[in-house]
Structure 1
Amino acid sequence: LTSEKDAIDDAVKSAQYAERVGVNRVSFCPSTIHKGTLMEVLWRRGAYQPPWIWSTLEIIRRVRNTVKIPVIMDTAGFGTRRGPFNCKKCNSKLKDAIIKSNINQTIPEEFECECKVKWEADIEFSDVTRSNTNLLKNR
């Protein structure tokens, strides 16, 4: 499974590639866990988490600084237990900032919340904290 940091890097590289090959718009759809899916099984075993909302903001910032085509970040599922999530204090504020950013094609303003430190640690140490859940184990 990929780390949060690797997923951010991959998303940015994908947008850059899309622009190079002539795509005229990029839409990111961060994962939301649906009932009865393999993703739900992995999530319940601790082997998968939806992305942080901070990660989606980082993708927007980096992509909008490097490509000229429009970029949209889908916010469905943001702030729910099974979707992109930060903390109850900032989920809705950041979702609103992303929606505004989608409309205006601007880079969202810097925003601070105490949970951002946890995200930064997750990014910095994501290779160390990767899940070692036995994916073949029957539950």
Structure 2
Amino acid sequence: TTHYLEEADALCDRIAIIDHGRIIVTGSPSELKDSLGGDIITLSIKGNADVTDIIQNVENVKEVRKENGVYRIKAINGEVTAPLIIEALRRKGYTVTRLSLTEPTLNDVYLEYTGKALRDIEESRSEIMAQRIHLRRARKT
């Protein structure tokens, strides 16, 4: 087992995504990444407006999620779709300040199937461990 998904991607023939002790999905790294069905476009715009509907209506966009002002977009053929998104936003008066296009990673797969990023789980575990250490020290005094 590992929490290092890049390592698992490089070394494993088959992977099981486990959440709360349950196997959620299994497959080869490429099968799992392909199951997301496209590329990941991440973008930010100038200002705080919600442009989810504009992005969602662009051809080949499968899903749009907004978190902390950053849009995470699943799209078919991201190299073609990203310029279409920029143009749709520009026509409505919005400026894209940051854009990245990536192929799905196992972190994206984990997020898709569990609804949470692995780093969020690791941060929660770190916080819990810190609280336990603090409580143990408090009991000793």
TM-score by length of 2: 0.21
- Greater strand proportion: 2
Kindly indicate whether structure 1 or structure 2 has the higher relative contact order, using CA contacts under 8 Å at least 6 residues apart. 1
Q: Normalization by structure 1: what TM-score?
A: 0.21
